Structure 1
Amino acid sequence: MSFGNIIGHELIKEQIQNSIETGNFSHAHLIIGEDGLGKSLIAKETTLKVLGRHENRRYVDIIEWRVLKNKQSIGVNEVRDIIKEVNKKPYEGDKKVIIVYEAHKMTMEAQNAFLKTIEEPPKGVTIILLSESLELVLETIRSRCQIHKLRRLNDKEIEAYILREYSDIEKEQIKSVTAFSEGIPGRCKIFLEDDSFKEIRNIILKILFTVYKKQPSKIKEYESFFYKYKDQWNEILNCFISYIRDIMIYKDIGKKEIVINSDKIEDLIELSNIYSFKKLNKIVDIITETREKLDRRVNSILVFDLMLLKMQEV
């Protein structure tokens, strides 16, 4: 693996490469970016360059720390274990790298306990923190790290990623995957490989047909679906909005090539014939209201039940 195989983030890759080659690489780094943007890839390649390695495999002097399976956060006890690893001498050479995944899940107490080590690690030790949020990392930690903020990829970069990873993909599907990804490569895999997401997309189409037919008994049948995917409510609502956007655009312009969800075009055409713009706009308002309630952590099953009932009434 090399930086050249990582699509996007050109400026960050160049800065890291140059600082390592000139001997100006900081001992502590904070890589910020949404899940699926490539934080781990950047961290791994950076680590190999720091150690002077070329083969992407496990090395004794690369310590990777993740949230424990039975935990929701990284606490003081876990940080103490990390510090112990930091203070152990490198085994294969004179350098060692510690990668802490999901650093935003460190408690405030844990971050404070880690502060001195980040500020002054032993000679030859590099610490790389990966976080989805800069705001959840203490200012005192931030000020001691070189910060690298990953940005979403543009459409050209996403298309290059899709074609590299899925060379046999059909051309018309690339547009759908690119739109769904919203610039995040990891979301391409969800769209193309995640069976649960495929089920979500199929069920939501059925729901839109059922809602129009105003069949309360049928609506109740979807309770198990919402319960099954209650933790993926954001994807559910995004899927609703994506379909409705396509229905409205096709209804207005009548061109298939503009539709994002091109693999569902026949269903979308049928829905565009039965829904009015007025009803579609009201459904968008209902989804927006639903999102606000779920953001406030209101019971998701009750919220979805109410959403469907309101949709039937429009």
Structure 2
Amino acid sequence: MSFESIIGHEFIKKQIESSIQQGNFSHAHLIIGEDGIGKSLIAKEIALKLLGKHKNRNYVDIIEWSTQKNKQSIGVNEVRDIIKEVNKKPYEGDKKVIIIYESHKMTVEAQNALLKTIEEPPKGVTLILLSESLELILETIRSRCQIHKLKRLNLRQIEEYIIREYPELDEEKTKAVIAFSDGIPGRCKLFLEDSSFNEIRDISIQILLELSKKEKNIVKKYESFFYKYGKQWDEVLTCFIAYIRDIMIYKETGRQEFVINNDKFDNIKELSNMYSFNKLNGIFKEINDMREKLERRVNSALAFDIMLLKMQEV
């Protein structure tokens, strides 16, 4: 792997390469960007360059941390383990890189516990924090890190990515993937390879089609679906919001090229005739309210049941 193989983010790649070559690369970095934008690729390439490695494989001096299974946050205990690892001497050379994924999921207490280590890590240690949100990172940590904000790929870049990764796609499928990706490479993989994600997309739009019928048993009908994907509540809500956005835009403009979920265009068109703008705005509000509740760790299955009932009553 090399920076050349990573499509997009040209200025940031050049800036990083230059500072590594000149020997003035900072010891702490924050890479900010949406899920699937390429944060992990950039971080891993930085680590390989710092260690002087050329093959993309696991190395003992590249330590990768992420949210533990069945946990929704990174707590103080996990950070203490990270600090212990930071303070161990490198095994193969004189450098070590610590990559912390989903840093936005660190609790405030965990971030405060990590602060001193970020400020003064042992010699030869570089910390790279990946986060979907800069705002969820404490200012005290931000001020001690070099910040790299990754932007969405432009149309030419996302086309280049799809042609390289999925050369067998026909023209219509390629157009659908480009529209859905909205400049985020990782969303192409979700769209084409993740059967769970596609089930979420299919069921979500089916729910919107059935909501207008005011069926009394709609909660019970989709109870197993929400239970199955309760831990993926963010993806479920994102699908709903993307559909609502498409319906509203098509309803206002009547133009298919503005629709992101282009493979569901017939459904989008049908829904645009079924729902008023007031109804769509009401559903959108209920979905965002539910997102706030789920971020506070409420029971996801119960929360979805309540959301469906409220969406139906709007």
TM-score (normalised: structure 2): 0.84
Residues 292/138 of structure 1: CA separation in 2 closer, same or farther (3 Å cut): closer
**Equivalents in 1 of 2:107, 2:214: separation in Å?**
48
Segment drifting more, 86-95 vs 76-85: 76-85
Could you state the TM-score of these two structures normalised by the residue count of structure 1? 0.84
Q: Please name the residue that 1:291 is paired with.
A: 287
CA distance in 2, matches of 1:209, 1:135: 36
Q: Partner of 2:241 in structure 1?
A: 238
Separation in structure 1 between the aligned mates of residue 110 and residue 198 of structure 2, nearest angstrom: 39
Report the equivalent of 2:156.
156
Shift of 1:9: 0.9
Shift of 1:133: 1.9
Q: Counterparts of 1:36 and 1:166 in 2: how far apart (Å)?
A: 16
**Which structure has the bigger radius of gyration?**
1
SS in 1 for 2:280: helix
Could you list the runs of 5+ residues in structure 2 that have no partner in the other structure?
295-302
1:140 and 2:140 are equivalent in the alignment: yes
The aligned counterpart of 2:11 is: 11
Q: Give the Cα separation in 2 of the matches to 1:219 and 1:107.
A: 34
| 1:302 to 1:166, Cα distance in 2 relative to 1, 3 A | same
Distance 2:133 2:265 in 1: 37
Give distance in 1, aligned partners of 2:179 and 2:293.
Answer: 28
RMSD: 2.8
Cα–Cα, structure 1 residues 303 and 176, in superposed 2: closer, same or farther, change >3 Å? same
Q: Which residue of 1 aligns with 2:277?
A: 281
Aligned sequence identity (%): 60
Q: 1:54 to 1:280 in 2, by over 3 A?
A: same
3-state SS in 1 of match to 2:293: coil
Q: Which letter maps to 2:199?
A: E
Q: 2:309 aligns with which of 300, 305, 308?
A: 305
Contact 2:204/2:240, CA 8 A, preserved across alignment: no
Q: CA deviation at 1:89?
A: 1.8
Quote the Cα distance in structure 2 between the aligned partners of 1:136 and 1:266. 38
Cα distance in 2 between the residues matched to 1:66 and 1:218: 37
Q: Which amino acid aligns with 1:174?
A: T
Displacement of 1:213 = 5.5
Secondary structure of 2:67's counterpart equals: coil
Say which SS state the counterpart of residue 297 (structure 1) adopts: helix
SS in 2 for 1:123: coil
Distance (whole Å) between structure 2 residues aligned to residue 265 and residue 66 of structure 1: 37
CA distance in 1, matches of 2:247, 2:122: 56
How many residues align? The count is 303
Instruction: Classify 1:303/1:50 alpha carbon distance in 2 versus 1 (closer, same or farther; 3 Å).
Output: same
